[in-house]
């Protein structure tokens, strides 16, 4: 993770640190396991053969983990008056999600920026927020907006921007099979929309390399 400004973890926490609560998904792990076994049969496999022993349970367990990411995390803010008005950019966050159209993985590289107004958000919380919204059936554009929405809510300001570069297996291993395709999305709010200098600074830090990877 990289940042242009580092929060002081010893600074006093703000009193109004909001608790981020996302309703826990209702997952019937036993039924998911049964259905995976049925899927294997429908695909012409024998779920009882040696190599597939335990596969339905493992897959069901993974779904359970994937759909229950850290739902009780608390957002920690630190009072920091001397960084008022300075751009903070947190990048290098990589999360995995599932495309809801094909149930195939997508890797999302997330960069978030905001302008502190009297308090800083703990840096690790950016990653937790990204992980929470990745842990569901998603599309990249909605993920980008949801992360920006939650950041704005937690920080208590609309001056947030989130840039995401996605690699979608539904483009790489099916359909057009474009291995090198990357999808970029941006959600800019508040001053990141109205102030072109701030917007340029954020984009330069979010995408420092112009070469396609
Ligand atoms: Zn897809």
**Same structural domain, 45 and 143:** no
Residues 12-22 have pLDDT tens digits of 343 344 445 55
Please state the three-class secondary structure of 94-109 as a single string.
Answer: EEEEEECCCCCEEEEE
211 within some domain: no
Q: Which residues surround ligand 1, an ion (CB under 5 A)?
A: 99, 101-102, 170
What distance in angstroms lies between residue 96's CA and the mean position of ligand 1's atoms?
Answer: 13
8 Å CB contact between 32 and 58: no
The whole-number pLDDT of residue 134 equals 97
* Angstrom distances, CA of residue 158 to CA of 34, 140, 153: 45, 21, 8
178 within some domain: yes
What distance in angstroms lies between residue 200's CA and the mean position of ligand 1's atoms?
Answer: 30
**Same structural domain, 102 and 168:** yes
Mean pLDDT of the chain: 85
**Same structural domain, 14 and 112:** yes
**Same structural domain, 43 and 130:** no
Residues 100-109 have pLDDT tens digits of 999 999 999 9
Structural domains of the chain, count = 2
What distance in angstroms lies between residue 98's CA and the mean position of ligand 1's atoms?
Answer: 8
CATH code of 174's domain: 3.30.1130.10
What distance in angstroms lies between residue 100's CA and the mean position of ligand 1's atoms?
Answer: 6
What distance in angstroms lies between residue 97's CA and the mean position of ligand 1's atoms?
Answer: 11
Q: What percent of the chain has pLDDT over 90?
A: 62
**Same structural domain, 9 and 92:** yes
Query: The domain containing residue 60 runs over which residues?
Result: 29-66
53 within some domain: yes
195 within some domain: yes
**Same structural domain, 58 and 136:** no
What distance in angstroms lies between residue 148's CA and the mean position of ligand 1's atoms?
Answer: 22
**Same structural domain, 8 and 45:** no
**Same structural domain, 90 and 192:** yes
- Return the half-sphere exposure (C-beta side, CA atoms, 13 A cut-off) of residue 122: 17
Sign of CA dihedral 26, 28, 32, 38: negative
């Amino acid at each position: 993770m990289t940042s242009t400004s580092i929060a002081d973890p010893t600074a006093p926490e703000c009193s109004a640190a909001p608790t981020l609560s996302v309703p826990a998904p209702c997952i019937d792990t036993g039924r998911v396991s049964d259905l995976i076994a049925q899927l294997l049969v429908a695909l012409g496999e024998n779920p009882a053969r040696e190599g597939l022993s335990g596969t339905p349970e493992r897959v069901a367990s993974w779904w359970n983990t994937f759909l229950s990411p850290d739902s009780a995390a608390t957002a920690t803010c630190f009072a920091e008056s001397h960084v008022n008005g300075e751009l903070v950019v947190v990048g290098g966050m990589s999360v995995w999600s599932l495309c809801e159209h094909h149930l195939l993985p997508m890797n999302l590289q997330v960069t978030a920026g905001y302008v502190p107004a009297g308090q800083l958000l703990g840096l690790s919380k950016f990653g937790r927020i990204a992980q929470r919204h990745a842990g569901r059936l998603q599309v990249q554009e909605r993920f980008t907006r949801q992360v920006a929405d939650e950041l704005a809510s937690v920080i208590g300001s609309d001056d947030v921007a989130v840039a995401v570069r996605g690699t979608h297996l539904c483009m790489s291993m099916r359909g057009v099979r474009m291995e090198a395709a990357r999808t970029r999305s941006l959600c800019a709010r508040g001053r990141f929309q109205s102030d072109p200098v701030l917007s340029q600074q954020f984009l330069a830090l979010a995408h420092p390399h112009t070469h396609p990877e």
